[in-house]
């Protein structure tokens, strides 16, 4: 069965490497490009829903990082000695909190969902 892949007209999507790979591995897929500045018309959920959700998650991450640094400073750690935690357990747990807070935030925004749908 033939398919159409509708993607942004970014240079990476038009590169010889990508288009050559697609032609070599997916002859059943026809690539069609969304004209520049038209993503919101073709992918309204990307602009109207996913973008605010991603932004809110990033804000949750930033708040968490700022709180961590403030705690370290309050505990007497010098600014040059503060090291951001990068262990997978802490980041995994923090990510779950950020997503949960974003989900709760989104529940109070029914018009955001309706406007996209």
Nearest one of 110, 94, 116, 98 to 44, comparing CA atoms: 116
Whether 32 contacts 5, CB under 8 Å: yes
The string of pLDDT tens digits covering residues 27-75 is 999 999 988 888 777 777 777 788 889 999 999 999 999 999 999 999 9
pLDDT beyond 90 at 115: no
The string of pLDDT tens digits covering residues 70-87 is 999 999 999 999 998 888
pTM of the predicted model, to two decimals? 0.61
């Amino acid at each position: 069965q033939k398919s159409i892949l509708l993607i942004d007209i970014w240079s990476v999507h038009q590169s010889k490497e990508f288009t050559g790979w697609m032609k070599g591995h997916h002859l059943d897929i026809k690539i069609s490009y969304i004209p520049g500045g038209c993503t919101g018309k073709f992918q309204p959920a990307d602009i109207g829903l996913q973008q605010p959700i991603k932004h809110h998650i990033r804000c949750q991450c930033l708040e968490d990082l700022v709180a961590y640094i403030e705690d370290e400073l309050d505990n007497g750690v010098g600014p040059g000695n503060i090291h951001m935690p990068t262990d997978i357990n802490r980041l995994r747990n923090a990510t779950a909190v950020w997503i949960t807070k974003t989900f709760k935030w989104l529940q109070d925004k029914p018009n955001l969902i309706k406007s996209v749908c």
